[in-house]
């Protein structure tokens, strides 16, 4: 490709050279300044020959890449980004740089990177890349073997699979492209070395892989990081409070329906849960597909708490209304007496026989509801555990997936 470009440039200048005399033959004098620039170019071309990609006959130049992953820090699931520190070791053979050791008895030299050909690398997923050495030096030995080390820190985008958050595991890709070359000129052979020493992390790197994706127009290699969430924090901060509130709500069902504390107890639980729920929703990431199962779990929990509170309020209201009606139908004397004593509610021993039926009806309904509620809660928990074990989710394919990198833009 590069050779072709050079040839084209050359042809363009040849064209200039041939049209020049033709035009001259018609009595037109080409500006003399045009000739020195042409000679300048040929001289520059000679000088720049070593910064063109080395040729390997008809085969592409083979470049060995070793990727040392030294740190993966700051996995941000809310922003879907990973930050990592890598060291790349690029080695290739450039015979134009070789020398005869009996003439120059030096085993190896270091050269500034811009005095020889080096590949320009671009990371497809990167939000930013910080190449730590702005002018790295390449080591060249007498046979022409070139070694170039590049250290970089980068923040890359990664589509975490958070369905099983906080027990999630995701594969994050870093795709390195040499955009100024084609696959006919350059081929990567990549290897990855795990040099991470730090384990005090929320997310740890479980595995590292490299691959050279097939059918690309631009030389490319990919490093895949498998990240595993090992944090207990989410379990302690999210699951335990949620389950405790549910248990407390179940226990609230054991309080007698007549006790006024029961409504207060249930409403307090519901309020506490609402506060917890809103902070939880902010702490969990959300996406267009495969949202964490925990979001659904906590929403079901909220519905359960609302149902149980509503039941308590409704039955207590029914009961109170029944009491009131029964009291009204009684002789006014005991009522006034009771008011004198400053007693707001009827004592169980004073409850007359007439409202006994309504009362026992409400209490029986409450007991039945309690049983149904307990069964419902237990079932929902088992259902959730089962769903957690078996559920898998396949994210929608990315819209740009079908187009290979460097392909024709589609209109």
Ligand X SMILES: *[C@@H]1O[C@H](CO)[C@@H](O)[C@H](O)[C@H]1NC(C)=O
Interface ranges with ligand X (CB under 6 A): 56, 59, 61-62, 93, 100, 102-103, 159, 171, 173, 213, 222, 224
The CB density around residue 301, as the number of other CB atoms within 10 Å, is: 22
Q: In what order do the strands lie in the sheet with 203-211?
A: 122-123, 169-177, 220-229, 203-211
- CA angle 196/90/156 to nearest 5° reads 50
- Closer to ligand X by Cβ: residue 61 or 319: 61
CB of 16 or CB of 93, closer to ligand X: 93
Share of the chain residues as helix, strand and coil, in percent rounded to the nearest 5: 45, 25, 30
Q: Which of 115, 67, 66 is nearest to 92 (CA)?
A: 66
Given the complex with ligand X, which of 88 and 172 has the nearer CB atom?
172
Convert 69-84 to b/e letters by CB count within 10 Å (16 or more is b). bbbbeebebeebbbbb
CB of 215 to ligand X, least distance (A): 11
Cα-Cα-Cα-Cα dihedral of 341, 346, 352, 355, to 10°?
Answer: 150
By beta-carbon proximity to ligand X, the closer residue of 24 and 395 is 395
Quote the Cα angle for 138-141-142, to 5°: 140
Q: Which residue number, 102 or 392, has a Cβ lying nearer to ligand X?
A: 102
Cβ at position 100, least distance to ligand X in Å: 4
Minimum distance of ligand X from residue 152's CB (angstroms): 19
- Residue 361 CB, shortest distance to ligand X, in Å, is 59
* Distance of closest approach, residue 117 Cβ to ligand X, in angstroms: 12
| C-alpha span between 292 and 230 (Å, rounded) | 16
Q: With respect to ligand X, which residue has the nearer C-beta, 61 or 315?
A: 61
Least separation in angstroms between residue 264's CB and ligand X is 50
Rounded Cα distance, 218 and 210, in Å: 17
State the residue for tokens 């390449």. 138
Is the bond preceding residue 166 a cis peptide, omega within 30 degrees? yes
Q: How far is the CB of 170 from ligand X (least distance, A)?
A: 7
Q: Which is nearer to ligand X, 194 or 380 (CB)?
A: 194
């Amino acid at each position: 490709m590069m050779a072709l470009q050079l040839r084209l440039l050359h042809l363009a200048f040849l064209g200039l050279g041939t049209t020049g005399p033709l035009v001259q033959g018609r009595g037109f004098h080409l500006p003399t300044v045009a000739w020195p620039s042409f000679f300048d170019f040929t001289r520059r071309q000679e000088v720049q020959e070593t910064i063109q990609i080395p040729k390997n006959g008809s085969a592409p130049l083979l470049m060995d890449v070793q990727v040392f992953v030294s740190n993966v820090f700051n996995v941000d699931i809310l922003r879907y980004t990973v930050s990592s520190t890598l060291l790349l070791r690029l080695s290739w053979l450039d015979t134009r740089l070789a020398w005869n050791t009996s003439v120059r008895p030096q085993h190896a030299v270091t050269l500034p990177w811009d005095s020889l050909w080096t590949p320009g690398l671009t990371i497809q997923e990167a939000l930013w890349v910080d190449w730590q050495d702005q002018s790295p030096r390449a080591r060249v030995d007498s046979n022409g073997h070139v070694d170039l080390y590049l250290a970089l820190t980068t923040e890359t985008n990664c589509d975490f699979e958070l369905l099983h958050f906080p027990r999630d595991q995701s594969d994050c890709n870093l795709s390195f492209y040499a955009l100024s070359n084609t696959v006919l000129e350059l081929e990567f052979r990549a290897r990855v070395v795990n040099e991470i020493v730090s384990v005090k992390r929320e997310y740890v790197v479980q595995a590292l892989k490299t691959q050279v994706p097939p059918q690309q127009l631009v030389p490319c290699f990919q490093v895949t990081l498998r990240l595993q969430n090992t944090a207990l924090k989410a379990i302690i901060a999210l699951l335990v409070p949620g389950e405790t509130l549910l248990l407390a709500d179940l226990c609230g069902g054991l309080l007698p329906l007549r006790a006024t504390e029961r409504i207060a107890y249930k409403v307090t639980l519901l309020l506490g849960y609402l506060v917890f729920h809103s902070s939880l929703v902010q702490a969990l990431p959300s996406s267009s597909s495969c949202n964490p199962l925990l979001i659904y779990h906590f929403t079901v929990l909220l519905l359960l708490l609302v149902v149980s509170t509503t039941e308590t309020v409704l039955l207590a209201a029914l009961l109170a209304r029944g009491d009131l009606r029964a009291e009204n139908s009684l002789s006014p004397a005991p009522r006034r007496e009771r008011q004198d004593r400053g007693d707001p509610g009827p004592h169980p021993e004073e409850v007359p026989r007439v409202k006994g039926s309504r009362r026992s009806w409400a209490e029986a309904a409450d007991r039945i509801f309690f049983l149904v509620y307990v069964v419902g809660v237990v079932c929902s928990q088992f259902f959730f555990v089962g769903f957690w074990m078996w559920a898998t989710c396949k994210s929608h394919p990315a819209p740009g997936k079908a187009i290979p990198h460097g392909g024709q833009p589609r209109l």
